[in-house]
Structure 1
């Protein structure tokens, strides 16, 4: 029901923020509990999402074989799974620092709220971006114990990056969403405009990543990494055309995984090997 491998989307951004917050490599204890927090939060959020969408998933040909509508996982089992990972997330927040612990219920509320947004707003993609942007923001708080304006460009870069590729992912369900009263940018504005808006969001992502480099006085190596990210974003959009969505899965899963890992790797190298 939950693909742990898909944590690759957000987890590298948490590690990126951790490197920036510590000015190098965080302690082993911090890395451990940030990782536990990330995986448990995502698992709880996806568990709740599958529970909330079980009836919708059963009607959608693309999702009818998911574990709950297919009867592979019972609703009670999914509920227990979600509750356990929610508790593990709160525990990991407690192990990090008092502010993380105090914010943990709010984080879960934001993550859970997203699952219901497509029922009433086409801006659900942005809500998902906000939810996932908790990765870099949370990791910063985990290490620094506060919130700084310097990390905000990276946080907003994640918002627009995630929203941009979630728009592309939603292209698969345009007709289903129209028929069943669900909301998305492709359903509201059409496929061509949705793709254009996704490109605009990813342009914002590139600008904000560059601004992150400025805020943290990054060297040329970091900006080479951001250039690589730009190439990956361009390639992603070349794969998705209004009249051809056949390569959407490749664009969604592979390319965006490469993007988050690329940002992390270049930030890590910049803050270790090239640190002045």
Structure 2
């Protein structure tokens, strides 16, 4: 129960502290899903420039969102034994530095959206609002778990807008190109692994008046997490069929589900840290598999 992906010791270098603070490796939860959306939306390969700009947009939004989350929860984290080594709590990163990071992140995100295409820029405030309001939503409702999961779903959406927005002049056409089944499937997937982060803190969060499905459901929260991820796999299969994808997509969906099932097994044995990170592997497998399927153009089953 002592696992904390954002904790660090004071005797580490400043760069290491920043990377732990931002949990930069968690970009790989969303980056494969963004590329999935980009490939499926146009049934082809986006330009290298578009691929690079998608990466920068996600990178900068993670800087803004994660810093904002840490800043909003600083006082709460200082009272939680599990999170007392986070840099904003220990003073390794100051409040002023955090505010500068948020500004850099948002400027970088909107700048990236500007260079992607006009529709990406137009829709970028929606993505930013959903991302930046999450830490406050959990003060009011358990559905904050679905809000943070929607940020992951918006990665698929944003990737699709980035590639399709170059192809189409109409916003309606762009939105029609978005693989919505994959967007919704990603939300259910993310709710599952997000709860691995909340279940260990359920009792503490209850005392602090914070809301999550871990607090609401108690011992049933893990089953709820598993059901969400099961629903995500079902929707992924439906998406493979709906978007006329080939056999590689189906194989990657199966592997995606198997990895999630193993993560659930780990969570059942209280290894929530490892279970949480196994979802990175499931994301990479699904995203790369479907991108490869589109790239090769193998006929659908």
TM tier, smaller: over 0.9
User: Which of 207, 210, 216 does residue 188 from structure 1 map onto?
Assistant: 216
User: Which of 87, 93, 99 does residue 107 from structure 2 map onto?
Assistant: 87
The within-5 A match list for 1:1-276 is 1-145=21-165, 146-148=174-176, 151-191=179-219, 193-241=220-268, 244-245=269-270, 247-253=271-277, 255-276=278-299
Q: CA deviation at 1:94?
A: 0.4
Q: Take 2:199 and 2:55, find their aligned partners in 1: how far apart are those partners?
A: 31
The answer to whether the Cα contact below 8 Å between 2:44 and 2:294 also exists between their aligned partners in 1 is yes
Unaligned runs of 5+ in 1: none
Q: CA deviation at 1:274?
A: 4.2
Which aligned segments of 4 or more residues in structure 1 are displaced greater than 2 angstroms? 273-276
Q: CA deviation at 1:73?
A: 0.5
Q: Sort the Cα spacing of 1:117 and 1:263 in 2 relative to 1 into closer, same or farther, 3 A.
A: same
The answer to whether the Cα contact below 8 Å between 1:222 and 1:267 also exists between their aligned partners in 2 is yes
Q: Take 1:179 and 1:81, find their aligned partners in 2: how far apart are those partners?
A: 31
Unaligned runs of 5+ in 2: 1-20, 166-173
Could you tell me the TM-score, scaled by structure 1's length?
0.95
Q: Take 1:248 and 1:225, find their aligned partners in 2: how far apart are those partners?
A: 24
Q: Take 2:25 and 2:261, find their aligned partners in 1: how far apart are those partners?
A: 24
Could you tell me the TM-score, scaled by structure 2's length?
0.87
Q: Take 1:220 and 1:12, find their aligned partners in 2: how far apart are those partners?
A: 19
Q: Take 2:292 and 2:124, find their aligned partners in 1: how far apart are those partners?
A: 31
Q: Take 1:176 and 1:162, find their aligned partners in 2: how far apart are those partners?
A: 22
Q: CA deviation at 1:187?
A: 1.1
Q: CA deviation at 1:149?
A: 6.4
Q: Take 1:175 and 1:215, find their aligned partners in 2: how far apart are those partners?
A: 42
